[in-house]
Amino acid sequence: MNLDFSEDDRMVREQTSRFFSDKCPISTVRSVMEGQEPYAVEAWRGLAEMGLIGAHVPETYQGAGAGYLVPCVVAEEIGAALAPIPFASTFLVSEAVLQFGNERQKAELLPKLSSGELIGCFAAVESANEMTAESIEATLSGSRVNGSKLVVPFGAIADIALVLLKEAEGCSLALVNLSDESVSRLARDTVDPTRASAALNFANAAGERLGDQPGEGWHQMEALYNCAAVLLAFEQVGGARTALEMAVVYAKERYAFGRPVGSFQALKHMMADMYAALKLAESNGYYAAWALNSRSEDFALAAATARVSATQAYQLCSRDNIQIHGGMGFTWEFDCHLHYRRSNYLALELGGLSSWEERLVQCLTRNTTA
């Protein structure tokens, strides 16, 4: 079994890295964070022109038909550059339509999502409590949606939302056009302002169930979360890689007591731990990408493993990067806090670390008893 990426995939990685260096420098990230622009519009358009937003979508629906490895390498470079673009959220909506939508929904939406014409978001969370199928209160009645969602990543800029709702038969996923006058958005302040988070309120808004079968929304969401977990794991790996690189460069250049601070044993151990966590996350991510692309029977296990290890790696690397920079690491002018912000936001985006650790235990238990 070869879990490495192909030469074509590595070429996409290199091209994407160069693209973000040119079109999404750290000044653009800071501009979005400070509210001067909603997201990196030029970078988003460029990805669309390169055919990378809909890389996993079949050519039948005007996607690239390249499978799922390409989105993974793109996500890694997004994380490395801290690019403030709705790539993962739009991927999640297009994947939902691809997996569970009817033919009309696929034909109408996938070309627009693939081209970047439509930005998608996924609205599920309603409170700070643990989310369960029974706790969902927002409703879908016929073609009308009512209720609220607490914090929606990229909800402030999205055109279409995939919403988890309650019907008589159980939970369902529905598509809602956010330009509907019955939808209101309230921007939410979060640890990472570049994610354009918003609360969404639906007051008899027009909605359409995804697919034709009611009551399947919770199972559909869990399947989609596994796909999104792999994509976000690669984004976290990219961020962790950059945070480690920042720490190493600073440790080599910063002198104290006549020698580089990187020569001190305490910092050596710290960076060794960062490197080990990053490599573990990379290896788990590679396996998860293969499992996603091949739809392996172990996909749920691989996704949970990648999610847990990538979350731990990015939080460790972003935190210790600040420590290695010393007092300067805490300042606004240094970029360390940008990765710390992103790492903590991504750790919660699909549910916290503890929920994914629980998923991992459940997957391992099922495999052991099978």
pLDDT digits (tens, 9 = 90+) for 164-206: 999 999 999 999 999 989 999 999 999 999 999 999 999 999 9
Give yes or no for a contact between 208 and 165, defined as CB atoms under 8 angstroms apart: no
Same domain, 238 and 184: no
Instruction: Give residue-wise pLDDT tens across range 63-87.
Output: 999 999 999 999 999 999 999 999 9
Phi, psi of 14 (to 5 degrees): -65, -45
Q: How confident is the model at residue 370 (pLDDT cuts 50, 70, 90)?
A: low
Q: Of the candidates 189, 215, 241, which is a domain's last residue?
A: 215
Q: Of the candidates 114, 143, 171, which is a domain's last residue?
A: 114
Query: Residue 291, by phi and psi: left (phi above 0), alpha (psi -120 to 50) or beta?
Result: alpha
Q: Strand (E) positions, 96-182?
A: 120-123, 139-141, 144-152, 160-167, 170-177
| Residue 216 C-alpha from the chain's centroid | 23
Same domain, 168 and 264: no
Same domain, 272 and 333: yes
How would you class 8 by CB atoms within 10 Å of its CB: exposed for 0-12, middle for 13-18, buried for 19 or more?
A: exposed
Query: What is the reported pLDDT for 1?
Result: 55
Give yes or no for a contact between 64 and 288, defined as CB atoms under 8 angstroms apart: no
Same domain, 92 and 148: no
Q: Is 251 within the bounds of a domain?
A: yes
Q: Quote the pTM value.
A: 0.95
Cβ-Cβ contacts under 8 Å for 202 (sequence gap 6 or more): 138, 145, 146, 147, 148, 163, 176, 182, 183
Same domain, 108 and 125: no
Q: Is 84 within the bounds of a domain?
A: yes
Separation CA 203–CA 361 (nearest Å): 39
Q: Where are the alpha helices (DSSP H) in the chain?
A: 7-23, 26-33, 41-49, 69-81, 87-100, 103-114, 217-253, 265-294, 299-324, 336-349, 353-369
Give yes or no for a contact between 310 and 284, defined as CB atoms under 8 angstroms apart: yes
Same domain, 153 and 79: no
Separation CA 259–CA 27 (nearest Å): 31
Instruction: Give residue-wise pLDDT tens across range 86-131.
Output: 999 999 999 999 999 999 999 999 999 999 999 999 999 999 888 9
Number of domains the chain contains: 3
Same domain, 236 and 200: no
Q: Which residues of 318-344 are buried (b: 16+ CB within 10 A; e: fewer)?
A: bbbbbebbeeebeeeebbbbbbbbbbb
Instruction: Give residue-wise pLDDT tens across range 329-354.
Output: 989 999 999 999 999 999 999 999 99
Give yes or no for a contact between 120 and 93, defined as CB atoms under 8 angstroms apart: yes
Query: Does residue 4 register a pLDDT over 80?
Result: no
Window from 125-129, 280-284, 287-291 with minimum mean pLDDT:
125-129
CATH assignment at residue 85: 1.10.540.10
CATH assignment at residue 178: 2.40.110.10
Bridge-based pairing of strands 160-167 and 120-123 is parallel
Q: Is 227 within the bounds of a domain?
A: yes
Window from 40-44, 262-266, 286-290 with minimum mean pLDDT:
262-266
Same domain, 249 and 356: yes
Same domain, 39 and 11: yes
Amino acid at 43: A
Give yes or no for a contact between 198 and 188, defined as CB atoms under 8 angstroms apart: yes
Same domain, 81 and 143: no
Query: What is the reported pLDDT for 323?
Result: 94
Q: How confident is the model at residue 265 (pLDDT cuts 50, 70, 90)?
A: confident
Query: What is the reported pLDDT for 109?
Result: 97
Q: Is 277 within the bounds of a domain?
A: yes
Q: Is 1 within the bounds of a domain?
A: no
Same domain, 83 and 128: no
Question: CA-CA distances (angstroms) from residue 221 to 109, 211, 272?
Answer: 19, 13, 37
Q: What letter would DSSP give residue 112?
A: H
Q: Of the candidates 114, 132, 161, which is a domain's last residue?
A: 114
Q: Is 2 within the bounds of a domain?
A: no
Host domain of residue 330: 218-369
Instruction: Give residue-wise pLDDT tens across range 203-236.
Output: 999 999 999 889 999 999 999 999 999 999 999 9
Task: Write down the mean pLDDT value for the chain.
Answer: 94
CATH assignment at residue 237: 1.20.140.10
Q: Is 196 within the bounds of a domain?
A: yes
Element (H, E) at 198: strand 198-209
